[in-house]
């Protein structure tokens, strides 16, 4: 029973990450370009930071991935993907942070 509950929780987290409309995808990509995210990240290849598809793959089973990614985007992060820190993007609204996090987690390899 415990495994069934855990599996359902994991699947619900995956479903949440996948629930992003085409309009939200376009808005998120535009926001990522406007805020400089795509200077260090790309969808499928490492630049300075990891490829978004690699981020999505790493956290696909984590039901708290979106909230953790929001924190990393808002406050910056260090040491998760190497030595180079990601700068904070504290100017983004809560809705923008959530949109970016859900978009990143929806990207497939």
Return the percentage of the chain with pLDDT > 90, whole number.
82
Residue 18, pLDDT above cutoff 80: no
Domain that holds residue 78: 2-106
The pLDDT tens digits of the residues spanning 24-38 come to: 999 999 999 999 999
> The domain that contains 30 carries what CATH number?
1.10.760.10
Q: Are 42 and 51 in contact (CB under 8 A)?
A: yes
Of 49, 62, 56, 61, the residue nearest 101 (C-alpha): 56
Q: With contact defined as beta carbons under 8 Å apart, do 58 and 65 qualify?
A: no
Q: Are 61 and 10 in contact (CB under 8 A)?
A: yes
Question: Residue 99 — pLDDT band, cuts 50, 70, 90?
Answer: very high
Q: What is the pLDDT of residues 39-50, one digit of tens each?
A: 999 999 999 999
Total number of domains in the chain: 1
The three-state secondary structure class of 60 is coil
CA Rg, the chain, in Å?
Answer: 14
CA distance 79 to 75: 14
**pLDDT of 1 over the 60 cut:** no
Contacts with 37 (C-beta within 8 Å, 6 or more apart), sequence order: 31, 89, 100
């Amino acid at each position: 029973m415990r495994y069934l509950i855990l599996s359902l929780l994991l699947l619900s987290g995956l479903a949440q990450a996948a629930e992003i409309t085409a309009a939200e995808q376009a808005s998120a990509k535009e926001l990522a370009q406007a805020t400089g995210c795509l200077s260090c990240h790309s969808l499928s290849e490492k630049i300075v930071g990891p490829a978004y598809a690699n981020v999505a793959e790493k956290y696909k089973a984590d039901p708290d991935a979106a909230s953790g990614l929001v924190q990393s985007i808002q406050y910056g992060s260090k040491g998760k993907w190497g030595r180079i820190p990601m700068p904070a993007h504290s100017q983004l609204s809560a809705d923008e942070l959530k949109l970016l996090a859900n978009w990143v987690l929806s990207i497939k390899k």
